Amino acid sequence: METCSEDGCENRAAVRVYVPWADDRDVCTAHARAIVQSEGVVAEPLDDAADNWR
């Protein structure tokens, strides 16, 4: 498993976010919660990431 793609975050990635105005990226659940609040963003759980959901 890879780590969250957000700067300075060392949590494990658990979600892929599809952001219309930026690159798609894999992030931890904490960052995903914040990112998906923007209109048009879609989140998808990563395969085999169930242990990383918090």
- Measured over the CA atoms of residue 29, residue 32, residue 37 and residue 42, the dihedral's sign is negative
Which residue in the block uniquely carries the two structure tokens 């960052």? Answer: 31
Q: How far is CA 5 from CA 12, 13, 39, in A?
A: 9, 8, 20
pLDDT at position 49 is 77
Give dist(CA 1, CA 13) in Å, integer.
7
Element of type H or E holding 21: none
**Cα–Cα–Cα angle for 43, 49, 50, nearest 5°?**
100
**Arithmetic mean of pLDDT over the chain:** 91
What would the pLDDT profile of 1-54 be if each residue is shown by its tens digit? Answer: 699 999 999 999 999 999 999 999 999 999 999 999 999 999 999 988 777 676
pLDDT at position 51 is 72
pLDDT at position 48 is 80
| Domain residue ranges in the chain | 15-52
pTM: 0.84
